[in-house]
Amino acid sequence: MNHPKHNPLLNRLRKGRVMFLLLIFVIVSGWCYVDSSIETGPYNLVYPTNFGNRVNIPADNPTTKQGVYLGRMLFYETKLSSNNKLSCSSCHQQDKAFTDGRAFSPGVDGILTPRNSMSLVNLLWARKFFWDGRASGLEEQAMTPLTSPHEMGQSLTTSAQKLTQATNYPTLFKLVYGDEKITGDRIVKAISQFERTLISANSRYDQYLRGAYQPTPDELKGMELFNTMPHPEKGIRGANCSHCHGGPKTYMELFHNNGLDSLPKDSGMEILTRLPADRGRFKVPTLRNIAFTAPYMHDGRFKTLEEVVDHYSEHIEQSASLSSFLQGESNEPGGKSLKLLPVEKKQLIAFLNMLTDSAFITNPAFSDPHLLSTKNKKH
Q: Residue-wise over 101-140: b if at least 16 C-beta within 10 A, else e?
A: ebbbbbbbeeeebebbbbbbbbbbbbebbebbbebebbbe
Q: Could you say which of ligand HEC, another protein, none residue 94 binds, taking C-beta under 5 to 8 angstroms by partner kind?
A: none
Residues 121-140 touching ligand HEC, rule: CB under 6 A, are: 123, 126, 129-131, 138
Q: Could you say which of another protein, ligand HEC, none residue 129 binds, taking C-beta under 5 to 8 angstroms by partner kind?
A: ligand HEC
Cβ partners under 8 Å of residue 14, min gap 6: none
Q: What is the DSSP string of 89-129?
A: HHHSBGGGTTB-SSSS-B-TTSPBPSSPPPP--SGGG--SB
For residue 184, the minimal CB distance to another protein (Å) is 29
Q: What are phi and psi of 42, to 5 degrees?
A: -60, 140
Q: Does 201 bind ligand HEC (CB under 6 A)?
A: no
Going by their DSSP bridges, the two strands 255-256 and 282-283 should be labelled as antiparallel
Of 44-52, 210-218, 243-251, 353-361: span binding ligand HEC (CB under 6 A) = 243-251
> Residues 46, 263, 320, 371: which binds another protein (CB under 8 A)?
320
Q: Does 130 bind another protein (CB under 8 A)?
A: no
For residue 138, the minimal CB distance to ligand HEC (Å) is 6
Find, among 61, 87, 72, 101, the residue nearest to 162 by Cα.
87
Whole-angstrom distance, CA of residue 319 vs CA of residue 308? 19
> Residues 40, 273, 304, 362: which binds another protein (CB under 8 A)?
273
Whole-angstrom distance, CA of residue 206 vs CA of residue 50? 10
Asked if 48 and 122 touch (Cβ cutoff 8 Å), the reply is no
Whole-angstrom distance, CA of residue 256 vs CA of residue 63? 32
Q: Does 70 bind ligand HEC (CB under 6 A)?
A: no
> Residues 65, 72, 92, 256: which binds another protein (CB under 8 A)?
256
Instruction: Name the residue nearer to ligand HEC (CB basis): 195 or 206.
Output: 195
What residues make contact with ligand HEC under the rule CB under 6 A? 86, 88, 90-92, 105, 107, 113, 115, 117-118, 120, 123, 126, 129-131, 138, 141-142, 145-146, 151-152, 191, 195, 239-241, 243-245, 256, 258, 260, 282, 284-285, 287, 290, 293, 296-298, 308-309, 312, 323, 325-326, 348
